[in-house]
Each structure stands twice: as C-alpha cells, then as structure tokens.
Amino acid sequence: MNDKLGTWERTHRCGDLTTEQIGQEVCVMGWVQRRRDHGGLIFIDLRDREGIVQLALDPDRDPTSHQKAEQIRNEFVVAARGKVSPRPEGTVNPKMKTGEVEIEITELRILNRSETLPFMLDGFTEVAENIRLKYRFLDLRRNKLQQNMLMRHLVAKTVRNYFDDQGFIEIETPVLTKSTPEGARDYLVPSRVNTGNFYALPQSPQLFKQLLMVSGFDRYFQIVKCFRDEDLRADRQPEFTQIDCELSFVNRGQIMDIMEGMIAEVFKQTLGYEVSLPLPRLSYAEALDRFGVDNPDLRFEMELQDITSLVAESEFKVFASVAASGGLVKALNAKGCATYSRKDLDGFTDFAKIYGAKGLAWVKVNEDGWQSPIAKFFTADEIAAMNTALDAEVGDLLLFMADTPAIANEALGRLRGHIGQKLGLARKDDYKFVWVTDFPLLEWDGEQRRHLAVHHPFTAPLEEDFGLLDTEPGKARAQAYDIVLNGSEIGGGSIRIHDQAIQSRMFELLGIGAEEAREKFGFLLDALSFGAPPHGGIAFGLDRLMMILTGSDSIRDVIAFPKTQKASCLLSDAPNAVDDKQLQELGVRLRTKQK
RNA sequence: GGGGGUGUAGCUCAGUUGGUUAGAGCGCUAGCCUGUCACGCUAGAAGUCGCGAGUUCGAGUCUCGUCACUCCCGCCA
C-alpha cells in the first residue's frame, strides 16, 4: 500500500539544496536514484529534474521512516520531510552540487513503487538505442536528457525574448497545407470531407510567411514543426523544429546582423559563451575553393590548395589528364602527420571514395625529401613549387585529389573535416561560425534536363546577376545565406522575389509552365501582385543547434520523443495499420496486402 | 535504392580451430552490515545465443535468407 500525498507541499527541488538551507525544515519529492542500506543508517539519493540530494535515515531518529526505507527500491517515488544539515566532518561529497548537505529525515512517504527497470539510469553504461526508445519515458529521466530538454526550453525562451525585443511577432501557420512536389517528399494526410484529396504537412512555412509579409506584419517568427519524408541521418528526423523568420524592408546584411545577434544571445544565455560579432562572411565560391565544401568547419585551418596549374605539365598522367580535361587537382597539408601508417592512409582513401573519389595520392615529407609512390613522376622544380604552395615542412603529410571540380572539392573537403576530427582539432567546446553567401541560384539536373532551385524557387538573384537570367542562368548567384557552425549548417535563408513578373520568370527558368505555376503557386503570384514589400528571411534548424549546444552526437538526444532511422516510434509503435473502416471513410484503398 | 557495423542473462559485454553442462561485471532476490555516495560482505535465481532455413556426427561459432537498431552514400527546393 502506497502512502498518500495528503496535504504535503514541496518546498524545494532536490538539486537546489545547499548550505544556504541549513537548519530549515524542508519537503522534497522525487525518484530514488539509489539506496545505500548500512543495516543501521540508510542513505537515499533522491532525484528530481534539478538534481540529487542525499536523505539520511537514522533508526534512532525515526524508526517508522527507517523501516519504510528498507522496502525502497530504485525509482520509487518518495516524499520526504526533514531538516537540512551539514554532513559530518569527512563525509562531504565534492562531486555533488548538494554534497555539503543532507536531509535528516523525520517523515517519509512512499508515493509509488516501481518495477525493476529494464536498464539503469545511472549514466555509466551506454544502453542500446532500441531499448532506450521503447522506454523513452525512463530514458528521459536520465540526467543528460533532462539537461538537454531544460536547455532546449531555455533556447526557445531566449529566442522568443530576443525577437520580441526586436519587434517580431510570432504567428502560427497551418499544418494541413497544400502539397508542392518541388523539393522533399511530403507527408500526406487524406481528407475525409474532400474524398480523394490530400493535405501535405509543411516542409517549411515558406509561402505562408511570405504571405504574412504581404499582409504587412513586417517582422514574423515562429518556432515551428516541419516535416520531410526523406531518409534519416544522425542529424535528421522526419519531423523537426525550425526557428522560422521573415522580415520586410530589409536587405540581407540587415537580416544577417539581426540573426547573428539572436545566435549570440542564445550562446550567452545557455553556455555563458560570448560570440564575437559580426560573424565572418564567406562567399560560396571562396568556401569551395578554400575548404571544398559549403559548410566548412572553421575550428581548424588546413585549407585546400588548388595546384592544378603546377602539375598540368607533369609526367604524372593522372594529374595531367585531369588538368587537361577541366578537372581540379587539389591538395591539403596534414601538418605533422607523416608518421601515419599505411593503414591510416588506406583509411583516408576509403573515406574519400565514399564521396566519389577514385583515389587519393599521398606524400610524406621526410628529411631527404618526398616519400611517396608518386614522387618519381615529378621534377625537382614541380616538387619545390608544390612544397611552397602547401607550406610543406619535414614531418608533414600531403594529400592530393584529382577529379572533376565537384568531386575533388567534396571528397578532399570531407577528408579535411575527417582529419580535423581525428587530430582532435575540432573541439566540442569551441564554436566557430561563418556565413556562407552568394550561392548559385540554379543547378542543372541532368536527369530531368532542367534547372532546379538550389535554395527554393522564391529566392531572389543578386541584383548584379539579374541580366544572367536571360543569358546564362546557371551562372546567376542568389541573395542567399547559410549560417554554418562547426561544419554544420544551422540555418539558411534568402531575400525573396517580391516582383510577380520576376517570380513568373523564375518558374519559367525552372521549367514550370505558366499554367502549372498558376495551379501550384497561384496564391503566391496573386499575393505578389497586390503590393508585396521587399522581404527576406531565414530558418534555423533548432534541433541541430541544440545538438551543438549540448554536445550531442545524435539528434535523438535533443528531441523528447524521436523516431528511429526507419521513421518509427518504438514507444507508441507508430506508424501502424488502421481499420478498414477508417480507410473507407477516407476513400483510401491500399494497393498491397498488409502483413 | 546502395555500402558498413551491431544483435549471447533485465543491462553492458566475453565466448579460442565447429566439440562436454554458454561465462563475467552491473542489476535483481535473500541474509548481514550505523557515514555511505557507482557503499561493502555472503549466498542465490536468471539464457528461444534476434528469427528461419542449410551444411555437419555435432552450430553461439560456418553458409544463405530475414528482422531490428545504428552510421554513411544517394535523397533532404
């Protein structure tokens, strides 16, 4: 039989008790982290979301409570009253926040019992993901996840306060929206009252926030769930949260200023970390040239060097032929890594191959020159030129990639990140931001034989590249910007097209005919024709930001109830089959038999 | 759609060349213990070796298939 809560009121949270409360009568409630029964004395570590405090139960002080404590097991829910006391000389626990005090219990109530848990919550062992997810309500009791959720709340609160101060208002946009087949796959919801028709869950509130600008709300933000039916990754869930913003009458410099202010405020409030503003800005072209990727990790240098011209005439056919066919030969200098084994180097090659590289050439810089399978193909002058370009010194490891520009950049750029991690140059408590700007507006899709929007079809081109739309649209750059933190894209946005004629022209360039554009985006084109102000915005991935703030390797650790890689919820068993009756009402018939 | 990893007690894992009755730590149960804090000591219970076939005198171990979890490529306007 459990005890009743009765009229007891909690006076403090467990983790909040310090020497300041010494002498006070307190009442705490929480879960039993651990019981240590000495036969006489019993100690209980009582836990709530703020932390753990030690309860001391002395049979001489209160035999009834002591007797109850003998039955207590892990995760029992307990309420306890007693006096906060300093721990006896020599028994202070410096590892605990509350380690200088304990509560001398005078009355104890067992509010509820617990079965033996399927796994320990003590944080000393890594538990398999599927077990954690099945018992997510228990997993969430663990300290790390409690901290993550509390910090997530703090971030949301900070964001709301900041935007409120800046004159933004939060407006909700619909979750049942219209499917637009551009971009990611939609999650579809069948409509009962419009049999045969479907809503789509929003991939982002993009169009609605633009409409809010047309409506004159001027500065909008929303912390909002978005949905994409694509395959999952360590940093991707099918439903995720964006900090979504849109502003009118601003240029992109002003947007970036406001947004980096928000990010700085978040880092200050959560980690006490001062982000120095303004953040560096890098063009897409420069990012690719120096780092190979558009989301460079700037916690370390190790920049890529373009050595195509140095090896174009060399005897090494692999490099020379790539150079002759318009490819790139790029190299990076892994400082002091000449000691790496053949196995390490093979590992790097395998890593590069993931990104389409055919191979990777390496050079160890020794006292007596280059040690490398490819050294013999180069003249002393060529080697000297490469050494200079790469700032090579004895003890360095030079890595070379020759391929099409896209593959050479991507593969060597990813390898740069990989080696930076391996060398411990990418510290989790170091935060390096960069804005990447001037993305290409369009990319050519060879399969569909049409241009696709790199960002989305509502992105405005750079004003100086306007003319290119009619001549070489593939070369036009966008008024777009991504904010990158430690090699991870945490946000992206653009100035939008607010001129209906230009938006129509953009649809044309994307191979979307006038009729199709009207059918899919007619409401946007209409809105643009009724006095749309110049506007632009950005959306931040809250989950990815939380991963970095909490030092989490998985997005699941910053989401209360995440899904597995196959997008199922092991806790509730979603998605699941539904009754025929439900399907009938929706006018939906399945094409395949269910298992 | 493709590639890699993992799956053995409630949890974390070990298990040799295919060979007797599958082990350890933690947890759990019982007993002891008045200053521990991942308390300690003693004893005990606990297994569909993910699932299904196959090879074999014999399979946790080899082969094939399959399922789940996970990391990556593609995909993610």
* Nucleotide B25, nearest residue via CA and C1': A125
> What value of ipTM does the predicted structure carry?
0.94
A374, part of any domain: yes
A307, part of any domain: yes
**Of A112, A128, A159, the domain-final residue:** A112
A211, part of any domain: no
**Amino acid of residue A289:** D
- A75: domain CATH number? 2.40.50.140
Q: What's the CA–C1' distance between A44 and B24, in Å?
A: 29
- Name the nucleotide with the smallest C1'–CA separation from A562: B69
A582, part of any domain: no
A340, part of any domain: yes
Q: What's the CA–C1' distance between A102 and B39, in Å?
A: 17
Q: What's the CA–C1' distance between A39 and B30, in Å?
A: 14
What's residue A592's pLDDT?
65
Q: What's the CA–C1' distance between A403 and B7, in Å?
A: 40
* Displacement of CA A482 from its chain's centroid (Å): 14
Q: What's the CA–C1' distance between A128 and B38, in Å?
A: 20
A242, part of any domain: no
A223, part of any domain: no
- Name the nucleotide with the smallest C1'–CA separation from A563: B69
Q: What's the CA–C1' distance between A242 and B6, in Å?
A: 33
Q: By the 8 A CB rule, do A110 and A129 touch? A: no
What's residue A594's pLDDT?
43
Q: By the 8 A CB rule, do A249 and A533 touch? A: yes
- A314: domain CATH number? 3.30.1360.30
**Of A401, A426, A451, the domain-final residue:** A426
Per DSSP, the three-state class of A426 is: coil
Distances (CA, A) of A1 to A46, A117, A125, A551: 21, 20, 33, 43
* Nucleotide B73, nearest residue via CA and C1': A354
Per-10-residue mean pLDDT of chain A, 595 residues long, equals 94 97 98 96 97 96 95 97 96 96 97 96 92 97 97 98 98 94 90 95 96 98 97 97 98 98 98 97 97 97 96 95 95 95 92 95 95 95 96 97 96 96 93 97 85 94 93 94 97 97 93 92 96 98 98 97 96 93 93 55
Q: What's the CA–C1' distance between A595 and B63, in Å?
A: 28
Q: What's the CA–C1' distance between A115 and B60, in Å?
A: 31
Which bases in strand B are touched by protein, i.e. have an atom under 7 Å from a CB?
A: 1, 10-13, 25-29, 32-40, 68-77
Q: Could you give the number of structural domains in chain A?
A: 2
**Of A363, A395, A426, the domain-final residue:** A426
- Name the nucleotide with the smallest C1'–CA separation from A183: B77
Q: What's the CA–C1' distance between A118 and B21, in Å?
A: 29
- Compute the half-sphere exposure of residue A537: CA atoms within 13 Å on the CB side of its CA: 30
Q: By the 8 A CB rule, do A28 and A86 touch? A: no
Distances (CA, A) of A328 to A108, A383, A388, A414: 73, 18, 18, 16
* Nucleotide B68, nearest residue via CA and C1': A130
A7, part of any domain: no
What's residue A136's pLDDT?
97
For chain A, counts of helices (H) and of strands (E): 17, 22
- Name the nucleotide with the smallest C1'–CA separation from A236: B76
- Name the nucleotide with the smallest C1'–CA separation from A455: B77
pTM of the model: 0.96
- Name the nucleotide with the smallest C1'–CA separation from A232: B76
Which residues span the domain enclosing A90?
Answer: 14-112
